[in-house]
Structure 1
Amino acid sequence: MTATSLSSQSSASSASSARVKVRGSRLVLYTFLVAITGLFLGPFGWLVVSGLKTQAELASSPVRWLPEAFQWHNFTDAFHQIDFLGYTRNSLVIALIYATLVTLSSAWVGFGFARLTAPGKKTLFGILIGSMMLPQIITLLPTYLIFAKLGMVDTYWPWVLWGLSAAPYLVFLFRQFFAGLPRELEEAAIVDGCGFSRMFWQIFLPQSWPVLSASFVIAFTWTWGDYIAPQLLLSSDRSTLAVAIMTAYNTPAGQPVPELQAAASVMYVVPILLIFLVAQRGFVAGMSTSGLK
């Protein structure tokens, strides 16, 4: 056997061993990802199962993992017992208003922090980022008093003002993205006579669609899932689906009906899942590109 054949056999053996190692590492990785996926989907799966049980099965001890018979009527009962479409419309209006306005305002503020120079800019940005550490409960009472003085309680104006005020986390995302764009773009725009406002709307904002998509999904989810602000600021007729699910499914004695709450919660989650499935590519791209610089 020649040296050449021995060398080729050794190379083939090494390649085969490398392929086995790669397959083994992929198998471990896939197993880990499946386990993590199951961990995250477990609560939602339990919610679906709970929506298909009777009240007695939900209260049984020991816990019944599966219902004896699937109670599909829980979903129709949950839909018809309250004005489900009306509360859904209220939630959509508030979420769309806030998500649209806060995405644009955060993009504008992030552009300023990324591309403009001014004394104290780094200090202001540090204060902005630090404000994310403030719990919402601390500002809840002052916020309510301000809106009550302005006559904005039981209206959607608070969400308009919140949207126009930008959000620190979204400002951070846009600032990171805009800071990573080449300086030549800005210089060429200035040479062509563009001001910073026109530069933002015509050059920088159209290129930021991944961050726009991610910011819109995040802001929409924040508002759709918020319970405290609608409960505090809105009457029952103008309130959102989150508040209705927690307060409207009661017996005449005032006791909650858990199986209807679970069924309504499943339907409540569906719009968020659909929005994420539609915008997931932009969401992932936005979250990744915002951390480049």
Structure 2
Amino acid sequence: MTATSLPPTSAPRVRVRVNRLVLYTVLVALTGLFIGPFGWLILSGLKTPAELAASPVHWLPTRFQWQNFADAFHLIDFFGYARNSLIYAVLVTLSSAWVGFGFARLEAPGKRTLFGILIGSMMLPQMITLLPTYLIFAKLGMVDTYWPWVFWGLAAAPYLVFLFRQFFAGLPRELEEAAIVDGCGYGMIFWRIFLPQSWPVLSASFVIAFTWSWGDYIAPQLLLSTDKSTLAVAVMTTYVTSAGTPVANLQAAASVMYVVPILLIFLIAQRGFVAGMATTGLK
């Protein structure tokens, strides 16, 4: 063996280290690619309007304008818009759990056909159903009220129903049989037995539902007045001058605060979200 040659057992270790180095390099590059726009948004929220409009581009603000975040927060009711999304997310999560429980544990004629129609509705784009939905709510006099949120929430979401159905179908039949022997109805079985055990799917469904409602722009803009709408609509319509020109630095600051709740909710519910997506399976 020459001085520059490696022992037979060292070559695999070198290859493993090189592979790890390449993998980490790719991951760091992808992380920078995804974090870069958010970092630029933060810097934009810390600049003055003149710095944002300057040419060439000023990468860093001359002085950090932290007041932009305070102004953006006080110009709209942040907590009110968050409450709207939170109520909708809770409604759609619980209603989806109830419908998923029915598909998983109850027997009725045509159940498989109804479940097939439900799965098929997942392929319909939102734009196809938006106009009929608006016409229905307009005929009922519910435009610019909270009732669209209530009915959307109680109607459940097909994808979340699918998640709950798959999870509940995997629980042992002996649980409900023992509860029925003890005199429980299916409503009590759902609330006291099945729902407490579904916390992984509840976490995943809540994150998904909150993200949908938090990021929805077209439907709230069409059906709801600004004070009853979501934060996405408020950010796009509030931070403008009297001439209708967007105030870019306040929009950037508001957009940062708009993204933060989603990040916090995902970080808090991350373990349950991953577990919920992993345990639903395909049965």
TM-score grouping bracket, smaller chain normalisation = 0.7 to 0.9
Does 1:206 pair with 2:201? no
Q: Do the aligned partners of 2:200 and 2:273 also contact (CA within 8 Å) in 1? A: yes
Query: Could you say if the C-alpha distance between residues 74 and 175 of structure 1 is closer, same or farther in structure 2, counting changes exceeding 3 Å?
Result: same
Q: Do the aligned partners of 2:47 and 2:65 also contact (CA within 8 Å) in 1? A: yes
Does 1:31 pair with 2:25? yes
Q: Which residue in the other structure is 1:136 paired with? A: 126
Distance 2:59 2:170 in 1: 51
Q: 1:8-58, CA deviations, whole angstroms, 9 ceiling, x for partnerless residues?
A: xxxx964x5555444444433333333332222222112112212333433
Q: Which residue in the other structure is 1:182 paired with? A: 172
Query: Could you say if the C-alpha distance between residues 254 and 171 of structure 1 is closer, same or farther in structure 2, counting changes exceeding 3 Å?
Result: same
Q: 1:106-146, CA deviations, whole angstroms, 9 ceiling, x for partnerless residues?
A: 11111122222333322221211121222222222221222
**Deviation, structure 1 residue 60:** 4.0
Aligned pairs, how many?
277
Q: Which residue in the other structure is 2:48 paired with? A: 54
Percent identical pairs in the alignment equals 80
Query: Could you say if the C-alpha distance between residues 237 and 113 of structure 1 is closer, same or farther in structure 2, counting changes exceeding 3 Å?
Result: closer
Q: Secondary structure of the equivalent of 1:269? A: helix
Distance 2:16 2:125 in 1: 46
Q: Which residue in the other structure is 2:4 paired with? A: none
Q: Which residue in the other structure is 1:9 paired with? A: none
AA aligned opposite 1:168: P
Range with bigger deviation, 225-234 or 199-208: 225-234
Distance 1:34 1:185 in 2: 47
AA aligned opposite 2:185: G
Query: Could you say if the C-alpha distance between residues 18 and 247 of structure 1 is closer, same or farther in structure 2, counting changes exceeding 3 Å?
Result: same
Q: Which residue in the other structure is 1:168 paired with? A: 158
AA aligned opposite 2:178: A
Does 1:275 pair with 2:268? no
Q: Do the aligned partners of 1:96 and 1:220 also contact (CA within 8 Å) in 2? A: yes
AA aligned opposite 2:71: D
Q: Which residue in the other structure is 1:154 paired with? A: 144
Distance 2:49 2:99 in 1: 50
Does 1:40 pair with 2:37? no
Indicate the RMSD between aligned Cα atoms, in angstroms: 2.3
Does 1:91 pair with 2:81? yes
Query: Could you say if the C-alpha distance between residues 181 and 35 of structure 1 is closer, same or farther in structure 2, counting changes exceeding 3 Å?
Result: farther
Query: Could you say if the C-alpha distance between residues 254 and 49 of structure 1 is closer, same or farther in structure 2, counting changes exceeding 3 Å?
Result: same
Q: Which residue in the other structure is 1:71 paired with? A: 65
Distance 1:102 1:177 in 2: 17
Q: Do the aligned partners of 1:174 and 1:211 also contact (CA within 8 Å) in 2? A: yes
**Deviation, structure 1 residue 61:** 4.5
**Deviation, structure 1 residue 206:** 0.9
**Deviation, structure 1 residue 207:** 0.6
Q: Do the aligned partners of 1:180 and 1:292 also contact (CA within 8 Å) in 2? A: no
Distance 1:171 1:287 in 2: 13
Unaligned runs of 5+ in 2: 1-6
Q: Normalising by the residue count of structure 1, what TM-score does the alignment of the two structures yield?
A: 0.84
Distance 2:240 2:266 in 1: 31
Paired residues for 1:97-108 under 5 Å? 97-108=87-98
| Counterpart among 241, 248, 252 of residue 238 in structure 2 | 248
